[in-house]
Amino acid sequence: MKVAELVVKCLENEGVDYIFGVPGEENLDIMDALLDSSIEFIVTRHEASAAFMAGTYGRLTGKPGVCLSTLGPGATNLLTGVANANMDHCPLVAITGQAGLDRQHKESHQYYDLVSVYKPVTKWNTQIKTGEIVPEVVRKAFRVATQEKSGATHIDLPEDIAGMEVDEAPLNLMDHTLAEASERVIREAVNLIEQAEHPLILAGNGIARGNAAASLRTFVEKTSIPVVHTFMGKGALPWNNELSLLTAGMAGKDYITCGFTKADLIIAIGFDMAEYPPENWNPDGAVPILHIDTQEAETDACYPVKLNVLGNIDENLKELSSALSFTERNNGWVLEVRQEALAELEEYKDSQAFPVKPQKILSDVRSALGEEDILISDVGAHKMWIARMYHTYEPNTCLISNGLASMGVSVPGAIAAKMVYPDRNVVAICGDGSLQMSSAELETAKRLNLPIVILLWRDGGYGLIEWKQLKKFKRSSNIKFGNPDFIQLAKSYGFEAIEIKKAEQLKPAIEEAISLKKPVLIDCPVDYSENMKLTEKLGDLLC
């Protein structure tokens, strides 16, 4: 068989269902081999979108999503989505076509050394230079991608190698095993927790990756320790649990940040440093950290680890719960913080102001979606509002990219999410800036007949950057742009389209969009004057 056919057989052996990508000249043999494969190739309109889809697939399933591009511009387009998945710890395997070995030693059409280009944004990568190593390369790419902390790997396949004959077979698969902390470490952790008067849990992305939400909830029930979630840890504890301090992650003060000022021990569970820099919540490094994760933490002066509890997060939380006694704490302050934070959502849920206030939009979205439905946030001012005010019941039901945080992720992400969970409602929220970065994928959603809902927050500019400019300089610079007629744009792609002209139309529009079971875009003007009002309000907080 050809090397390309062996690559595809190895991918089948790994249980790959889909490959997202754009075909090109240097991956012709791979594309031809896929015609005889059980793997479905999803043609995307841009390579970055293909990687966003693969990353979302990986995040939701725990299996590496696979994306494919050709060499040169295809590979550099793919790079952003690969880097996004790697920093968000989403398992992904990227495959790039490449120039033949016979022209890599000289200046050549569309040739770059992609192993060097991809090395900084992947956990591991290599080029296939002989067919015999294909089974080992593919197996290692999938094994490394899923090892904690999961992330992206990359395989570069030269076109001349892809067409060569080879006589090899896929390798057997092996499950990962994560060790558990020793009894001594568990005892030390129990002592730290029992000695603390005001411990606080910081729940991160690793809880979802490790399927540890149930164990965390048992741990919280036994210890009565309140929980703050990172943007990517949302849902580890249901938002309506009285010990949930909701979500933190904005720079500067917030209601939730006040919880950190009361803590004498922060129990960071599954926390990834890129999610929420410790300098934002432990600026003096004065509060000790009990670090519960699969790996030791990055060295950071504001993250003084008192003890590492390393290994399988789920099992280690179970061991801690078994070793701890039931504890009742005076958590009246938690209720006060929750009431302050939740009051914002209640205050504006009946607002008739137009353009629509962010608080009102999120109140309507939350009331229209079920507990396991999925909201995917793009990157922009709306992301900050979603993180603070879209409250969740379960992990991975509000997907926010907060590592690389690349714009354009929501529409491709919604496509992948609907493929993984066809029975759940999936809503992508994006700004007019981020939508235009991946709007061509509306055609992909329509072609695949995926009934996703895109809720556009339209303000005619880069709202998050303006927000930061106003905070720093009291004036904005070069953030406004023009827009197409989004209603006509959506219809041209075959979407249903709904334009919001009054605030009271929004919730019925969301409900209608969900009921249509078709791809739908909702164009909703947003009032981002609320951004600076929030900044001023939080600036007056006393913790």
Peptide bond into 355 cis (omega under 30): yes
At 458, give phi and psi (nearest 5°). -100, 125
Helices (H), 24-71: 28-34, 47-61
Q: What are the residue boundaries of the structural domains of the chain, listed by start?
A: 3-162, 183-335, 349-539
Dihedral through CA 189, CA 190, CA 191, CA 194, nearest 10? 130
DSSP state, 121? G
Multiple choice CATH, 183-335, 3.90.580.10, 3.40.50.1220, 3.20.20.100, 3.30.70.260: 3.40.50.1220
pLDDT at 337: 83
- CATH architecture of the region 349-539: 3-Layer(aba) Sandwich (3.40)
Task: Quote the CA–CA distance of 63 and 61 in Å, as a whole number.
Answer: 5
Task: Quote the CA–CA distance of 408 and 401 in Å, as a whole number.
Answer: 11
The gap from C-alpha 335 to its chain's centroid, in whole angstroms, comes to: 29
* Identity at 313, one-letter amino acid code: I
- The tokens for 525 are 């003007």
Using alpha carbons, select from 522, 358, 519 the residue that is nearest to residue 447.
Answer: 519
Using alpha carbons, select from 272, 205, 269 the residue that is nearest to residue 232.
Answer: 205
- CATH architecture of the region 3-162: 3-Layer(aba) Sandwich (3.40)
- Contacts for 471-478 with beta carbons within 8 Å, 24 or more apart? 471/532, 471/535
The gap from C-alpha 350 to its chain's centroid, in whole angstroms, comes to: 31
At 534, give phi and psi (nearest 5°). -65, -45
Antiparallel, parallel or unpaired: β 65-69 and 40-43: unpaired
Task: Quote the CA–CA distance of 7 and 137 in Å, as a whole number.
Answer: 9
- Contacts for 285-289 with beta carbons within 8 Å, 24 or more apart? 287/260, 287/263, 288/192, 288/264, 289/265
Task: Quote the CA–CA distance of 235 and 264 in Å, as a whole number.
Answer: 24
| C-beta atoms surrounding 538 within 10 Å | 15
The gap from C-alpha 349 to its chain's centroid, in whole angstroms, comes to: 27
CB 231 within 8 A of CB 204: no
How confident is the prediction along the chain (543 residues), in pLDDT tens digits per residue?
999 999 999 999 999 999 999 999 999 999 999 999 999 999 999 999 999 999 999 999 999 999 999 999 999 999 999 999 999 999 999 999 999 888 888 888 888 999 999 999 999 999 999 999 999 999 999 999 999 999 999 999 999 999 999 999 999 998 878 899 999 999 999 999 999 999 999 999 999 999 999 999 999 999 999 999 999 999 999 999 999 999 986 665 667 777 788 899 999 999 998 888 899 899 999 999 999 999 998 899 999 999 999 999 999 999 999 999 888 888 888 888 888 888 877 888 899 999 999 999 999 999 999 999 999 999 999 999 999 899 999 999 999 998 899 999 999 999 999 999 999 999 999 999 999 999 999 999 999 999 999 999 999 999 889 988 998 999 999 999 999 999 999 999 999 999 999 999 999 999 999 999 999 999 999 999 888 887 777 655 545
Instruction: Evaluate whether 3-162 and 183-335 have a shared fold.
Output: yes
Task: Quote the CA–CA distance of 449 and 155 in Å, as a whole number.
Answer: 31
pLDDT at 332: 84
First to last CA, the chain: 68
| C-beta atoms surrounding 533 within 10 Å | 12
Using alpha carbons, select from 436, 448, 457 the residue that is nearest to residue 494.
Answer: 448
